[in-house]
Chain A
């Protein structure tokens, strides 16, 4: 019983800490509806700056008060210069941009402070322990609880009493209209964004004495904070508070009583909440369609010229491996495989409007099936690939069945939750998957007598499937069924009203996408001969998402180039420069700014515009 009480208290502390980190996000994401992945970075940088200030002044309090200042300056600069033009462009561009900034910030932090864990001591007053009942409790943790409650109260006064919250919601609902009523929305948003960053920095300082300060803490805090907002309900401060406590307790109890499941428990809580109340515990249910996805016109029919260019491209891909060494050959093989995954995600994201952050699960499933069956049952790899496609399709059908009830951000978070379930299984089911060590194939499979350890054979196999998938998906998106997908992306409610069973179609899209990703996973297994849980972690899904966005969602060919660009950068830049993180970040940022809708999307837009001008 005492253990139980202690867990409750621990959960409370963790919950309040979560609230401190999520409070800023509740302004930026919850209220302003801006997806800022850089939020974790501001949190982390708050800790680092506080560390330096502490070394300088020797006072924790000075550090706590002053650290937010430079962070807010950086955040506001980012908002004004880069983020502001993106508010109307929807969530995806914001994701790509702020993802780029997380790289830049991380690189900056590592350059300035190094990679070690730094310790920030708690202030002297709170450096002791307090007896609580029969146990003891660090007084700094008690201080944190009070601090969190104070922040909550302040925020509540600030938002509810001053109508500032209502103003921001009005601006989010209809920025043009708010402007027409005399509100300077840009200035208001900058102010609120700044406040959100300040809270993140404060949270980072406050958490310093408990967690330590280290690179990577940004990503660790980001996902739980987003989960808290989604569980609590967008735009609801009360929601953020209750959500924090709920997630804090869930995580603490999970660790204490169900360590096997602990990793997954917060995702489970989120999935249950979202399935029962997609708007979150305290969120408002909107009767309106989701925000615009950014328009991509339907794919133009293949013209003669496009066909010619395509044939030249394929010819180049056929000749290429004959001219280069093994390493370059393997690199392009990998590109082709990931191009397949990226295209399959584009079917969901770009054509059906389903923002999935769990696509790597299907890729991983395809790969695991090939390797596990090959290792334990000596299955022929090709049979394995076929089974892998089936398994991925089946998983997509089941997962999709739950997910397609939601749309927009809830859909994204649900797919994230299910993919984390797959990740947990891959991690914990050691006997079969090898746990975190991963699992490898002893012998390379062969095809018609050619062994696939030959990089040339493998290359052509990948090329064959790539061309097949491209042509198949292209045909699909130009077919009546493809048009139905596009219609659902544009206005699901109206599709329903004109007679389409939209859930069924969304499920179809999700399943096809999953199956194609499974195929790519199978190929990857054959190619790489090894798979580990990293391949199904959420960040792997994030990578695929980035590939699609870099190239341009809704263009099919764009994601191919996106995948190529992404992998080349990862492979090449990292060997040439130690600041490769910053370089990738800058590329992402530049891409969002100069190529709205991805570079292929921009190219197509330009082409359409010039074509339209000719007859006029």
Chain B
């Protein structure tokens, strides 16, 4: 990956994901209006915004599910705008969708292992997953649809980790998790970041977002209306009030 050294925005960092001037439509409705952002290795970038602001659409566009009408998506400086989701996933992208996407007729183990990759050399293996989420080990034989909401959420995150990705796209991973587990996940995400993963995170819980994010983008009606670090965002009352109403 020569030549993938970072540009001015991210000095000294490998740029893992870059969205550049993305315009996405559903039929005639113009949902993303020129979204640009980038995520570097070892960095957590947060997307915030009201319901319907376009956060999920941004993730779906990055993942190749929805094709932007204009704009460019790059992974490690390689243009992936035209690739299909499975091709993007195989490049090393892990995806946790908002509705969890658990396969209902597969058991917990099958959910974890069917599409697992690089578990031999990679860092994530079943034992390590079970150490992070002991509940899942207790439910190994359960079918996907038999799990509780929070258990499904954990499974979805775990399944993405089993791909041993270098870039993670997380769409509200904290949804439906009890506070204790949430804290564990925050710790886990931090350590993933320290291991050098790039993470794009959609997060509604402001406290979690501020604890995790290196950079925050606030989306409003499909446009990024504010960008800042945790300290900047946490101190910016106007943005918090106007766009996040906190």
**Contact surface of A with B, Cβ cutoff 8 Å:** 163, 166-167, 169-170, 172-174, 176-185, 235, 284, 286-288, 613, 616
Contact = CB atoms under 8 A, between A and B. Distances in A.
A170 B115 contact: yes
A555 B110 CA distance: 41
Interface stretch (B50-58, B68-76, B82-90): B82-90
A177 B86 contact: no
Given A170-B106, A183-B115, A287 B85 contact: no
A184 B83 CA distance: 12
B28 A181 contact: no
B191 interface: no
A449 to B, nearest CB: 60
Contacts of A167: 114-115
Contacts of B122: none
B113 interface: yes
Interface in B156-175: 159-160, 163
A158 to B, nearest CB: 15
B124 interface: no
B9 to A, nearest CB: 27
B104 A181 contact: no
B89 A180 contact: yes
B130 interface: no
Given A170-B111, A170-B115, A181-B159, 10 more contacts: A163-B110, A166-B110, A170-B106, A173-B106, A178-B115, A179-B86, A180-B89, A180-B95, A183-B115, A288-B145
A338 B111 CA distance: 49
Give 8 closest A-B pairs by Cβ, nearest first: A182-B89, A177-B101, A181-B115, A179-B85, A173-B103, A287-B145, A179-B86, A170-B103
Contacts of A174: 101, 103
Contacts of A183: 86, 114-115
Contacts of A613: 28
A287 B65 contact: no
A286 B143 CA distance: 9
Contacts of A170: 103, 106, 110-111, 114-115
Given A179-B84, A182-B90, A287 B63 contact: no
B117 interface: yes
B17 to A, nearest CB: 15
B222 interface: no
B216 to A, nearest CB: 25
A295 to B, nearest CB: 14
B167 to A, nearest CB: 13
A232 to B, nearest CB: 16
B30 to A, nearest CB: 11
A169 B105 contact: yes
A286 B105 CA distance: 7
